[in-house]
Amino acid sequence: MHISTKLMASAAIISTAGMAQATESLNVSAYGGSWGDALTSCVFKPFEAETGISVLLEPSASTVTLSKLQAQASAPVIDVAWMDGGVSELARDSDVVAAIDPAMAPGLAGVAEQAKYKTDAGDIYAVGNGYFAIGLVYNTEEITTPPTSWEDLWNPDYAGRVILPSAVHSSGVPFLALVNTLAGGTLDDLTPGIEKMSTLKAALFFDSSGVANSGFQTGEGLIGAHAATQAFTMADSGLPMAYVIPKEGAMASDIRIHIVKGTDDLEASHQLVDFAVQPAQAGCLAAALQVGPATQDVDMPGDVAARMPWGPDGTIADLSVSDWTAINAHRDALTDAWNRIASGN
């Protein structure tokens, strides 16, 4: 009896240790730079404090994260991944993200329906965690007349000092698609966009927001296609930077949370998703990054509300989000063209 009791106790200890190990930490792939800093302070650190589960962050651009998930598909290392719209759909099509169960993440009830991204079968494969817009960012000391159009990127005065996203950055491919459309092309005919871009002299093509910000900080770039959130961040740090929505419209998208298919920590992964979409976390991200909350009923101070991608009085419905299905159907051709443009070939 004594031996049996000891064996049972030992088994319980082993079982408990196994459970603790399973939820001891989560491997998370998310953005680097100021975006990663904001997610850390608004989501990851508070989550660790509340749950005792450590977040092991691996900073990565969305396209790089997707490549990692595809390479690790048979034995995933990452548990939860933040990726931008567009790349998110590619992750869905690659079958590397799991269905998110609303019963395991009850906070999803407070998320706008259009920010719950679903498969054809109706399963949620991604959840929006904040909307952003890409427009014109410029140096106000050297450009005293605010730009009004995407066409201003071709102003001869800015030749060699334009900063643009690369094909690796999630906004690079849709930017070429936009330029092509404005030049009279279609996704089946990229020639007008390629010819238009071949006349634009860029200072650099950035893979990450941090690289773009550095280019503006050093004076290498005067103007570029960049996120409103980054313009506000640089301005708040004392740099003479401003953001305008071009008359043709800004490009809107969002950051999204995904649970990786095959994760051993499904319950803890759902805990992180649930925590990230709470009003307090969504409001914190809105203040830190000026991203529009996908979570409903988030209270924001007036100065934060004024910086939302839909304006101080707008809503998600006012955003013009890229048609990712159409863009992704032509992504290979767009990426190849954009890489050739960036390399000067």
76 within 8 A of 100, measured Cβ to Cβ: no
Token match 């800015």: residue?
Answer: 158
Tokens linked to 61:
């651009």
Question: What does the alpha-carbon distance between residue 140 and residue 222 come to, in Å, rounded to a whole number?
Answer: 9
More confident residue, 121 or 252: 121
pLDDT above 60 (res 20):
no
Element (H, E) at 28: strand 25-30
Residue 317: strand, helix, or coil: helix
- The pLDDT value recorded for residue 211 is 93
- The pLDDT value recorded for residue 41 is 98
Beta pairing partners, 27: 56
Share the mean pLDDT of the chain. 90
Domains and CATH numbers, the chain: 2-131+253-312 (3.40.190.10), 132-252+323-343 (3.40.190.10)
The amino acid at residue 280 is A
pTM: 0.78
Judging by DSSP bridges, how do beta strands 116-118 and 54-59 pair with one another? unpaired
- The pLDDT value recorded for residue 345 is 62
pLDDT above 50 (res 168):
yes
The amino acid at residue 22 is A
- The pLDDT value recorded for residue 150 is 96
Question: What does the alpha-carbon distance between residue 194 and residue 177 come to, in Å, rounded to a whole number?
Answer: 10
- The pLDDT value recorded for residue 264 is 94
Other CB atoms within 10 A of residue 98 CB:
21
Q: Give the residue-averaged pLDDT of 169-182.
A: 92
Helix ranges (H only) for the chain are: 2-22, 33-39, 45-51, 62-71, 87-93, 172-182, 191-197, 209-217, 228-236, 266-276, 279-289, 302-305, 324-329, 331-343
pLDDT above 80 (res 28):
yes
276 within 8 A of 286, measured Cβ to Cβ: no
- The pLDDT value recorded for residue 16 is 34
pLDDT above 70 (res 141):
yes
- The pLDDT value recorded for residue 23 is 65
The amino acid at residue 318 is D
pLDDT tens-digit series, residues 77-104: 999 999 999 999 999 999 999 999 999 9
